[in-house]
Amino acid sequence: MNSQDMSIITLVLHASWVVQLVMLLLLGVSVASWAAIFRKLFALKRVKTLNDDFEREFWSGTSLNDLYAAAAQNAKQAGPMERIFASGMREYQKLRERRIVDPGTLLDGARRAMRASFQREMDVVESSLSFLASVGSVSPYVGLFGTVWGIMHAFTGFAGMEQVTLATVAPGIAEALVATAIGLFAAIPAVIAYNRFARDIDRVATHQETFIEEFSNILQRNLGAQPAAPAGHSASGH
């Protein structure tokens, strides 16, 4: 390779096959990482919109029965908060249908159902985060491996030369260093996205946990106001 021709493309094409394989792997990981970032970005935006819409409807004065009927009918398009609410109401109604009238049992059953639903929803929301964390932590080391291998390969090639100058060393070293650069190119966006998404997901989790507590308080007040409600009837308002 001409020592003056040091473009990235030329460096990649003249690198050893091991270094090229490392670069190809890192580029593939980078593409997958960006795809995961955009998917997660749109998914979190959708979760926030659906949660806000449901919460606005919940506090608008609509009866719990009407909200539950809407949630059951719209289960596939519902947001996490709406599904958590539906889980609590479903368990609450099942216990009432079994003629259980003890307020503590009813409230505890509804809360357990909501907590289980909350955990399922958070598992979905947190998907892809572990992949981004792995990309952010491993990619620089994979790139470093490519660089070390490339430098070893370059120096092996210099062994038979009687005179080694900077002009002969520079291309081989530059080829090897490209692997580290690509590793960082893959890792940095993944780390930034992971930190951003982790913060956003924490806010979503806190918001949903607050809703569970508020809805539990509403059920508790309704149970206190209707201690002898007949089986098959559920709370009608809040």
How far is it, in rounded angstroms, from Cα 114 to Cα 20? 51
Spatial neighbors of 57 by CB under 8 A, at least 6 apart, are 67
Helical segments of 126-228, H only: 129-158, 166-225
Of the given ranges (125-134, 172-181, 219-228), which has the lowest mean pLDDT? 219-228
Q: How far is CA 123 from the centre of its chain?
A: 9
How far is it, in rounded angstroms, from Cα 22 to Cα 29? 11
Average pLDDT value for residue range 197-217: 95
At 75-113, the pLDDT tens digits run: 778 899 999 999 999 999 998 888 887 888 889 999 999
